[in-house]
Amino acid sequence: TIVITGVQGQIGTELVQALRKQFPSSFLIGIGRSALRPQSMCMDRYFRLDIGDRRGLKALAERYSIQTLYHLAGILSAKGEGHPHQCWSINLEGLRNILELARELAIKVFWPSSIAVFGPHTPKELTPQWTITDPTTFYGVTKLTGELLCQYYNHRWSLDVRSLRFPGILSYQTLPGGGTTDFAVEMHLAAQAQRRYTCFVEPDTCLPLMYMPDAIRAIQEIMDAPATALRVNTSYNLAGFSATAAEIAQAIQQHRPNFTCNYAPDFRQIIANNWPHSIDDTAAQVDWGWQPRFDLQRTTADMLSHLTWRTDHVGTGSF
């Protein structure tokens, strides 16, 4: 049995589909906070469960013998600043509940970390795997603490827990919510709906980004790697491509020449300013063979082609 928490989230929506293909005969359980069962027919069962509900999690784990758990439930950076209490309980207490459960029942765990573990004193260009981590956001603090917690459970209890430091992820199926890198996705949606976009960071803001198919494949590859190959027990640096907000707008304009973007930075500018521009993921390349496939141009072309489908059939996005 495989369990995915945060199954209705940006990554969960697509990971569940990928795992269905990868493990056709496994029993797939999705956990989310919504009362409605998600549309996706990929999973065998859906449970509405709060990640803070330890008894509920335990009961579920005992009823179905869980081998692998992808713990994706979490609050992103911008939302975390406004809701620090919720951010702490979901991102950290939730993770600890999962790690405890995994320790007791010997479950293999995947947990996403983020480039938000880095801060103002971290080198911004090709940020190394091992470097200064001084996050300035509440979200970043929970991710850094979470990484240390994962490493602790691995060293102390030999728990098989694997983690990636994701950059901003672009996707078209489920939109991100409450992140600082959301503008990269929102820009595509606006262009597709033939609307002007007001970007909440300056045009020269450069951030590490990744397209969802690469993010999903990275999760599958690190989970498939032999445990002995994995020398990083906190979380692996992971690079896709890097782009400024203006470069994303230009890439979109190559397909949608009428698209216009103006810039009105808000509090998220400061968050973005403290994050790296590009990531050195040599450790991931060496230990488990990581290679991204999507650059900005391929990402934008693919995003726009799928959003056409979405606009035609489902209506004009939900931003």
Contact residue for ligand VAH among 94, 135, 179, 292 (CB under 6 A): 179
Query: Residues 70, 219: contact at Cβ < 8 Å?
Result: yes
Shorter beta-carbon distance to ligand VAH: residue 139 or 290: 139
Nearest approach in angstroms of CB 74 to ligand VAH is 9
- Least spacing, CB of residue 180 vs ligand VAH, in Å: 4
Q: Kind and range of the H or E element at 198?
A: strand 197-199
Of 174 and 253, the one with the shorter C-beta distance to ligand VAH is: 174
Contact 179, 168 (CB under 8 A): yes
What residue number has its CB nearest to ligand VAH? Answer: 179
Query: What is the rounded CA–CA span in Å between residue 309 and residue 304?
Result: 9
- State which of residues 8, 180, 192, 237 lies at the interface with ligand VAH (CB under 6 A): 180
Least Cα distance to 300 among 255, 243, 263 occurs for 255
Closest CA to 73 of 30, 132, 20, 43: 30
Q: Is 277 exposed, middle or buried (0-12, 13-18, 19+ CB in 10 A)?
A: middle
Query: Applying CB under 6 A, does 167 fall inside the site for ligand VAH?
Result: yes
* Selection from 166, 187, 163, 162 nearest residue 175 by Cα: 187
| Nearer CB in complex with ligand VAH: 78/230 | 78
**152 assigned to active site:** no
Nearer to ligand VAH, 30 or 276 (CB): 276
Q: Is residue 129 within 8 Å of residue 239, measured between CB atoms? A: no
Q: Which of 46, 139, 153, 197 is catalytic?
A: 139
Question: Should residue 76 be labelled a site residue for ligand VAH when binding is judged by CB under 6 A?
Answer: yes
| Least distance from ligand VAH to the Cβ atom of residue 24, Å | 31
Residues 102-141 that bind ligand VAH (CB under 6 A): 114-116, 139
Q: Which residues are catalytic?
A: 139
Interacting residues with ligand VAH (CB under 6 A): 76-77, 114-116, 139, 166-168, 176, 179-181
